[in-house]
């Protein structure tokens, strides 16, 4: 029987607006049940047992005159209704008005209602002093989130700020003294300071930001009048003290400052009182932190302040200069007018006091937040449908730990796995996020998630958080589903109390209602149990049963779930006669095969089960969906006939959604049975049958055509869906061949009436999960424009050479002097003018150091000064270009220069004659040439002079300059300062999927390699590496078998490199499986990367690089980016070799940027050929493991080379010259195809050389012999 406490009834009477408007004096149980629900309290208990919930306690709520109580509410996300709900649990009145008594009473209440504290996600208590209650509940559930500090966030921050100020005592003293004299103030001043007329003024002054700001602001406007008034009084000691305070100019400036600094807190408090929207409150709180910290801290210190939870180390804090601090326009104006020496002396105290206020306020707000600021931002992103791709697995894991859904270490891994599965889920057919609320979105998503998913529990915890904490708004949610209360409804409910269905929950105001699912009765069809072989036959529903909408799909406006009363309806007999009259018209509709829309999915095949004609003339069809057997009620005008198969079939869903593929198969089985079509199969496999059925459907269901799909007579239709699962399971595929009933026994074969089965088998690959129908007729019916895969890979062949480069002491490009002399002369003039402005006129270096223009774009990372946009691009491309002698190819300052001088340290910098003579001093270059060795300005900054001034933090600035900040936003990778040349040590490398080229690049660059461990499974590649590098490479096992113990044994490593197989990632492979085929080896790279990364406090530089094909699915690329938490750089080998080879590179190598050619790179095919051979193409396409990749043209018909008047292909030795030494792969009696295979899988040597070059700033290098034989 239904019951509740008397205090609960009093609360309902007082706060249920609908009841208050009635004339009733008492609330009956019947009325209370409208608010609490017919299943109260068992339904609340059940929700809390299976779902995270939020506990609200509103203290001191009025129940009746001189009667108050504490209202206990439960908030949770209703997964059935798809919305957040707040339920009234009880109203309690502790014996004593203490927090301890309230805590005891609260525990007893939760125990009485069997509310499990293990699922308590968040707690809110409206009292200003929640400490005792929070501590008591934390003992029972340490992972509980407390929202109590939000109640008085503004007041607490205000109090902390005032008390932290060095002038706090004076400020509070002056306010109290003025308040004491308030009754005797003149009427004009009383009117201005009317806010002081409050008996609790002194007790709540510092914690009431609105009152304090009002009083402070008013006092600043009448400051002179107040000072004059107190000057007119006697000479008593108390009056003298007030006079002294009003003469204190520093104190007056502080009052002006507080009028400005308290305004944001007042605005926050106003939003809290008037709106109370929980998300808005959190967002505004984060905005306050940003505002207050930016008012006194440097940007880097702001980040440290947030990371330290508002308690930063003083030695890591940098304050803004005084002229940059935000102290308010009134303060600035007052200080501008008052520049006397006395005020100047006291400004130090004022600024110190202002900094103390800002720091204390910001720290108080940070500590009042229920979660760290990063967690709050990630929480909003996770819940937002648009933000799903912007969240990393680490952010989700951190939230899981904060909300206590990961009590064990292994749960963190399960949580991230669940999250990535959610991210990977197909979303192409989902409705636009703008068309649905967050609650609706997650209602649909949770239908797909597993019941025990940890990510599901985390989402339910987030959705359980309040929509608002404002008491009136929360109470409105409690009464939202109760409806209107009138005397007539009450009397009716009393008279029918015994007949009220006990299974309904009237507190659910949603139109969607759900009841516990029941097993289908024998008369009810279950389309999921149909055998894979026998065509599915079903029967219409003959009994009323409670059903729910199509599983894993979200209802549309016209597709709603059906709740049917289990009791027989006595009025059905009255309508029997009318139904019999319409039965004949419905015969062609009931049993019809149709296509219908279900929100979140492609158009789905189904079968009309029942027909209902509405009074307005519309017709509702109850449709049973193929595949999962669920039912939806849809208007007839929203359905399409099954015969339009080619128009409604969705290739994307067929390739990616297993349930859709199954539904198509089962619907085709029913269609084949109706049309009595017989098929001849070459095998007994289901795949073979599905190929035949699809071919038949795209061909127009011939020979029967669309008419053959119509339902049979009503009697036959009832038999269509009846089957015996046991029998069907034993029936072989061959038995599907049957003769037409009532017709000839001759078997009708599909190949006589439709597309040839052999053609279809080339188009549909069910094992791989893709559809690529190349038949023109089928493509036309599908309205699916086929893309030629060749066009994806095709790139235009360019015969243009890159810009010539300038080397040491002479130009190596024969055309360079002719073409560049005017431009070089113009640049020198600009630079001389710029140097004159700096050296003679004393101006700041706000010019481009490279060309001298004043239109600058970005700072120069190495020297004081800037770069324009054009020179920035040139600098990016050329800074890390090294020659064969190990030195930079271009000037370190301008990345150009016809003549350069080299630093005496190995593999260091070079400086051109123009930069040295113009920026340092005329004739300096000639003087430096006589010094041996000469140490450059970066190695010895004390030697710099003139306008060439190295930055003291250039080693960090140069990394920031090259930071990849395009595409998706990620936190920047850790930046390692460059290591001085005399402290660099040899490099230790782990190379996964090693191939044949990486060690070669390191040696070409001159790196001293202490250890090189390679994981490679291809025997030919291993042989090439071992022979060419004298066994210096340690070959290890398959990457999948490398464990953390191996890394600890072999390591530590300085560099991790690898590029997992691209076959399943490349879009040119129509049967690709993405990251779920061989592409999953990427996760082994990711796993080892996490194992090898040094801890945050470890200063040891650690670099990594991952490579893969450019032509991959955008989704796979985005997934890789999210795991590696960075965006790739696209580098195409065509810029440094005769062959196209565009690749993506992810990593934290300094200076990862596109490449340009060096003087020694062979850029055309002709340069790589042996004598007597002529290239027919300037560039060739990407050379792969496929033998025909050496030929050109769309169909591999053209040979790229002509020799003695005949066409010929590229020789292996010529192919090697693209980046390797000649005969590099001539080992182990390997044939042409084997050598091409290892070359086709290898990295481009010039590209990797370009990417590895910046590591010379970190690791030891040998002196590299130049090609002239000189050191």
Distances from the Cα of 1205 to the Cα of 716, 1193, 1201, 1212, angstroms: 77, 20, 10, 20
- C-alpha torsion sign, points 214, 215, 220, 222: positive
250 close to 322: Cβ distance less than 8 angstroms: no
What DSSP element (H or E) covers 420?
helix 409-424
Q: Give the separation between CA 992 and CA 639, rounded to whole angstroms.
A: 54
Q: What is the pLDDT of residue 23?
A: 56
In a domain, 1174, yes or no: yes
Give the range of the structural domain holding residue 357, as residue numbers without chain letter.
153-368
* Last residue of one domain, picked from the residues 962, 994, 1024: 962
Residues 246 and 271 in one domain: yes
Segments in the chain below pLDDT 50:
428-429, 487-488, 490-585, 714-824, 826, 964-967, 1194, 1264-1271
Q: Give the separation between CA 252 and CA 331, rounded to whole angstroms.
A: 9
In a domain, 596, yes or no: yes
Q: Give the separation between CA 939 and CA 958, rounded to whole angstroms.
A: 15
In a domain, 745, yes or no: no
1174 secondary structure, DSSP code: E
SS3 384: coil
CB within 8 Å of 581: residues ≥ 6 apart = none
What value, to the nearest 5°, has the Cα angle with vertex 500 and ends 498 and 506? 145
What value, to the nearest 5°, has the Cα angle with vertex 293 and ends 289 and 296? 155
Locus of tokens 């209704």: 81
Read off the pLDDT of residues 96-129 as tens digits, 9 standing for 90 and up: 888 899 999 999 999 999 999 999 999 999 887 8
User: Cα dihedral angle (1244, 1249, 1255, 1257), rounded to 10 degrees?
Assistant: -170
Q: Give the separation between CA 632 and CA 629, rounded to whole angstroms.
A: 10
Q: Give the separation between CA 544 and CA 523, rounded to whole angstroms.
A: 10
Residues 45 and 128 in one domain: yes
Q: Give the separation between CA 587 and CA 1092, rounded to whole angstroms.
A: 70
The CATH number of whichever domain residue 14 belongs to comes to 3.30.420
Residues 359 and 461 in one domain: no
Nearest Cα to Cα of residue 1037 among 1015, 1052, 1053: 1015
The CATH number of whichever domain residue 1055 belongs to comes to 3.40.50.150
Cβ count within 10 A of residue 961: 21
| 708, two tokens | 């053959």
Q: What is the C-alpha end-to-end distance of the chain, expressed in Å?
A: 98
CB within 8 Å of 578: residues ≥ 6 apart = none
3-state helix, strand, coil in the chain (%, to 5): 45, 10, 45
What DSSP element (H or E) covers 658?
helix 658-675
439 secondary structure, DSSP code: H
Q: What is the pLDDT of residue 946?
A: 80
439: left (phi over 0), alpha (psi -120 to 50) or beta: alpha
| 801, two tokens | 């050479």
1124 close to 1106: Cβ distance less than 8 angstroms: yes
Chain center to CA of 34 = 43
User: If you average pLDDT over every residue of the chain, what do you get?
Assistant: 74
What total number of domains does the chain contain? 6
Distances from the Cα of 26 to the Cα of 35, 489, 492, angstroms: 15, 15, 17
Cβ count within 10 A of residue 547: 24
Residues 1222 and 1100 in one domain: yes
Q: What is the pLDDT of residue 907?
A: 61
The CATH number of whichever domain residue 621 belongs to comes to 1.10.720.50
Q: Which residues pair with 1180 in a beta bridge?
A: 1139
Q: What is the pLDDT of residue 157?
A: 92
Q: What is the pLDDT of residue 359?
A: 92
Q: Give the separation between CA 53 and CA 50, rounded to whole angstroms.
A: 9
* Last residue of one domain, picked from the residues 935, 962, 989: 962
In a domain, 1271, yes or no: no
CB within 8 Å of 657: residues ≥ 6 apart = 426, 601, 602
Q: Which residues pair with 519 in a beta bridge?
A: none
Q: Give the separation between CA 685 and CA 697, rounded to whole angstroms.
A: 19
Q: What is the pLDDT of residue 767?
A: 36
In a domain, 1074, yes or no: yes
* Last residue of one domain, picked from the residues 684, 710, 736: 710
Nearest Cα to Cα of residue 679 among 752, 627, 745: 752
Q: What is the pLDDT of residue 446?
A: 83
Please give the full DSSP string across 907-939, using - where no structure is assigned: T--EEEHHHIIIII-TTHHHHHHT-SSPPPTTT
Chain center to CA of 1071 = 28
Residues 238 and 112 in one domain: no
In a domain, 32, yes or no: yes
Query: Among the residues of 1075-1140, which ranges form H helices?
Result: 1081-1092, 1114-1124
Residue 964 preceded by cis peptide, ω within 30: no
Q: Give the separation between CA 720 and CA 674, rounded to whole angstroms.
A: 9
Active site (catalytic) residues: 1062
What value, to the nearest 5°, has the Cα angle with vertex 122 and ends 116 and 128? 120
Q: Give the separation between CA 790 and CA 1233, rounded to whole angstroms.
A: 23
Cβ count within 10 A of residue 139: 10
Residue 58 preceded by cis peptide, ω within 30: no
| 1036, two tokens | 């290890």
Residues 77 and 129 in one domain: yes
Q: Give the separation between CA 890 and CA 873, rounded to whole angstroms.
A: 14
Residues 985 and 954 in one domain: no
Locus of tokens 């096992």: 1037
SS3 500: coil
Residues 1012 and 1093 in one domain: yes
In a domain, 342, yes or no: yes
Residues 199 and 221 in one domain: yes
Locus of tokens 């219409």: 540
743 secondary structure, DSSP code: S
- C-alpha torsion sign, points 1105, 1106, 1111, 1112: negative
What is the largest distance, in Å, between two alpha-carbon atoms of the chain?
A: 128
555 secondary structure, DSSP code: -
Q: 1163-1196: b or e for each residue (b if 16 or more CB lie within 10 Å)?
A: bebeebbeeebebebebbbbbbeeeebbbbeeee
CB within 8 Å of 298: residues ≥ 6 apart = 318, 319, 320
In a domain, 704, yes or no: yes
Read off the pLDDT of residues 1127-1166 as tens digits, 9 standing for 90 and up: 888 777 777 777 777 788 889 888 776 666 666 677 777 7
Chain center to CA of 623 = 38
Distances from the Cα of 562 to the Cα of 282, 543, 601, 762, angstroms: 39, 13, 20, 43
Residues 1091 and 1226 in one domain: yes
Residues 948 and 992 in one domain: no
Residues 1071 and 1186 in one domain: yes
Distances from the Cα of 454 to the Cα of 400, 401, 405, angstroms: 8, 11, 7
Nearest Cα to Cα of residue 511 among 440, 591, 582: 440
């Amino acid at each position: 029987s239904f019951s509740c406490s008397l205090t609960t009834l009093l609360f309902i009477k007082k706060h249920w607006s609908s009841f208050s408007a009635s004339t009733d004096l008492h609330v009956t149980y019947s009325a209370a049940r409208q608010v609490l629900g017919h299943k109260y309290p068992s339904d609340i208990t059940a929700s809390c047992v299976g779902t995270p919930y939020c506990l609200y306690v509103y203290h001191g709520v009025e129940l009746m005159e001189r009667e108050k109580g504490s209202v206990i509410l439960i908030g949770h996300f209703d997964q059935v209704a798809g919305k957040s709900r707040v339920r009234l649990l009880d109203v309690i009145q502790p014996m004593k008005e203490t927090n301890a008594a309230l805590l005891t009473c609260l525990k007893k209440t939760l125990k009485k209602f069997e509310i499990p504290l293990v699922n308590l996600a968040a707690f809110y208590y409206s009292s200003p002093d929640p400490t005792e209650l929070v501590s008591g509940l934390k003992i029972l559930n340490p992972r509980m989130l407390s929202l109590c500090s939000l109640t008085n966030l503004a007041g607490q921050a205000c109090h902390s700020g005032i008390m932290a100020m060095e002038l706090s005592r004076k400020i509070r003293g002056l306010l109290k003294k003025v308040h004491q004299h308030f009754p005797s103030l003149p009427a004009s001043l009383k009117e201005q300071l009317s806010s002081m007329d409050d008996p609790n003024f002194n007790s709540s002054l510092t914690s009431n930001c609105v009152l304090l700001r009002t009083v402070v602001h008013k006092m600043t406007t009448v400051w002179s009048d107040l000072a004059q008034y107190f000057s007119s009084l006697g000479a008593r000691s108390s009056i003298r003290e007030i006079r002294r305070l009003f003469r204190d100019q520093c104190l007056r400036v502080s009052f002006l400052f507080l009028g400005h600094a308290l305004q944001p807190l007042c605005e926050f408090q106003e939003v809290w009182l008037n709106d109370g929207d929980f998300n808005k409150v959190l967002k505004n709180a984060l905005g306050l932190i940003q505002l207050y910290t930016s008012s006194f801290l440097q940007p880097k210190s702001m980040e440290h302040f947030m990371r330290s939870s508002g308690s930063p180390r003083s030695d890591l804090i940098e304050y803004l200069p005084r002229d940059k601090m935000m102290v308010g326009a009134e303060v600035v104006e007052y200080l501008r007018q008052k520049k006397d020496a006395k005020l100047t002396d006291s400004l130090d105290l004022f600024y110190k006091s202002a900094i103390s206020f800002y720091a204390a306020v910001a720290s108080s707000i940070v500590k009042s937040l229920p979660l760290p600021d990063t967690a709050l931002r990630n929480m909003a992103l996770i819940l937002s449908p648009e933000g799903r791709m912007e969240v990393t697995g680490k952010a989700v894991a951190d939230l899981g730990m904060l909300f206590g859904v990961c009590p064990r270490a292994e749960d963190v891994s399960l949580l991230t796995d669940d999250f990535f599965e959610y991210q990977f889920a197909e979303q192409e057919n989902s409705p636009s996020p703008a068309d649905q609320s967050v609650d609706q979105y997650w209602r649909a998503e949770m239908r797909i998630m597993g019941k025990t998913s940890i990510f599901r529990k985390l989402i339910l915890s987030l959705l359980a958080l309040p929509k608002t904490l404002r008491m009136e708004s929360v109470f409105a949610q409690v009464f939202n589903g109760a409806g209107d209360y009138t005397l007539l409804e009450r009397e009716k409910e009393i008279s029918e109390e015994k007949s009220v269905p006990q299974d309904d929950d009237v507190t659910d105001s949603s139109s969607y209602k759900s009841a516990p699912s029941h097993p289908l009765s024998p008369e009810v069809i279950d389309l999921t149990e149909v055998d894979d072989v026998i065509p599915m036959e079903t029967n219409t529903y003959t009994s009323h049963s409670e059903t729910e909408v199509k599983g894993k799909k979200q209802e549309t406006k016209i597709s709603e779930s059906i709740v049917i009363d289990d009791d027989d309806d006595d009025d059905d007999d009255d309508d029997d006669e009318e139904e019999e009259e319409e039965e004949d018209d419905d015969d062609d509709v009931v049993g019809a095969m149709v296509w219908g829309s279900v929100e979140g999915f492609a158009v789905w095949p189904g079968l009309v089960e029942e027909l209902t004609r509405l009074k307005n003339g519309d017709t509702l069809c109850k449709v049973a969906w193929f595949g999962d057997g669920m039912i939806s009620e849809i208007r007839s005008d929203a359905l399409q006939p099954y015969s339009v198969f080619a128009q409604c079939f969705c290739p994307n869903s067929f390739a990616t959604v297993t349930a859709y593929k199954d539904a198509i198969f089962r619907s085709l089985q029913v269609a084949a049975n109706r049309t009595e079509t017989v098929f001849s199969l070459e095998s007994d496999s289901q795949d073979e049958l599905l190929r035949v059925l699809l071919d038949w459907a795209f061909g127009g269901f011939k020979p029967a055509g669309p008419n053959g799909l119509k339902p049979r007579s009503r009697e036959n239709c009832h038999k269509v869906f009846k089957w015996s699962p046991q029998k069907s399971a034993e029936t072989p595929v061959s038995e599907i061949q049957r003769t037409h009933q009532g017709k000839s026994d001759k078997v009708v074969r599909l190949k006589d009436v439709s597309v040839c089965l052999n053609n279809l088998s080339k188009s549909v690959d069910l094992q791989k999960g893709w559809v690529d129908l190349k038949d023109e007729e089928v493509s036309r019916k599908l309205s699916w424009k086929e893309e030629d895969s060749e066009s994806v890979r095709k790139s235009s062949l360019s015969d243009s050479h890159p810009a010539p480069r300038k080397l040491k002491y002479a130009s190596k490009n024969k055309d360079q002097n002719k073409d560049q002399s005017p431009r070089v002369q113009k640049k020198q003039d600009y630079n001389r003018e710029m140097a004159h402005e700096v050296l003679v006129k004393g101006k700041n270096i706000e010019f481009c150091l490279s060309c001298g223009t004043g239109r600058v774009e970005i700072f120069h990372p190495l020297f004081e000064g800037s770069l324009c946009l054009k020179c920035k691009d040139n600098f990016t491309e050329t800074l890390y270009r090294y020659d064969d002698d190990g030195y930079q190819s271009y000037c370190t300052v301008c990345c150009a220069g016809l003549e350069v001088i080299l630093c005496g340290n190995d593999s260091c910098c070079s400086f051109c004659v123009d930069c040295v003579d113009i920026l340092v001093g005329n004739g300096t270059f000639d003087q430096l040439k006589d010094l041996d060795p000469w140490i450059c300005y970066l190695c010895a900054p004390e030697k710099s002079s003139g306008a060439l001034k190295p930055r003291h933090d250039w080693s960090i600035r140069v990394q920031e300059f090259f930071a990849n900040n395009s595409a998706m936003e990620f936190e920047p990778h850790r930046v390692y300062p460059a290591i001085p040349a005399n402290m660099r040590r040899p490099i230790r490398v782990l190379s996964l999927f090693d191939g044949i080229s990486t060690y070669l690049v390191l040696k070409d660059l001159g790196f001293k390699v202490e250890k090189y461990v390679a994981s490679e499974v291809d025997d030919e590649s291993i042989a090439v590496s071992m022979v060419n590098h004298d066994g210096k490479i340690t070959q290890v096992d398959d990457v999948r078998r490398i464990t953390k113990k191996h890394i600890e044994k072999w390591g530590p490593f300085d560099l991790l490199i690898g590029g997992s197989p691209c076959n399943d990632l490349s879009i040119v492979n129509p049967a690709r499986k993405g990251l779920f085929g061989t592409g999953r080896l990427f996760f082994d790279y990711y796993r080892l990367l996490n194992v090898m990364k040094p801890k945050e406090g470890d200063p040891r530089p650690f670099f990594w690089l991952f490579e893969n094909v450019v032509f991959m699915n955008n989704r796979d690329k985005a997934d890789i980016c999210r795991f590696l938490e960075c965006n790739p750089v696209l580098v195409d080998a065509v810029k440094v070799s005769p062959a196209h080879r565009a690749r993506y590179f992810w990593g934290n190598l300094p200076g990862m940027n596109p490449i340009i050619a060096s003087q020694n790179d062979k850029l055309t095919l002709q340069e790589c050929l042996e004598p007597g051979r002529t290239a027919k193409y300037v560039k060739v396409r990407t050379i792969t493991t496929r033998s025909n990749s050496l030929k050109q043209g769309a169909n591999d018909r053209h040979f790229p080379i002509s020799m003695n008047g005949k066409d010929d292909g590229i020789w292996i030795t010529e192919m090697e010259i693209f980046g390797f030494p000649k005969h590099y792969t001539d080992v182990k009696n390997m044939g042409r195809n084997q050598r091409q295979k290892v070359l086709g899988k290898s990295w481009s040597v010039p590209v990797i050389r370009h990417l590895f070059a910046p590591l010379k700033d970190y690791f030891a290098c040998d002196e590299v012999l130049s090609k002239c034989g000189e050191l």
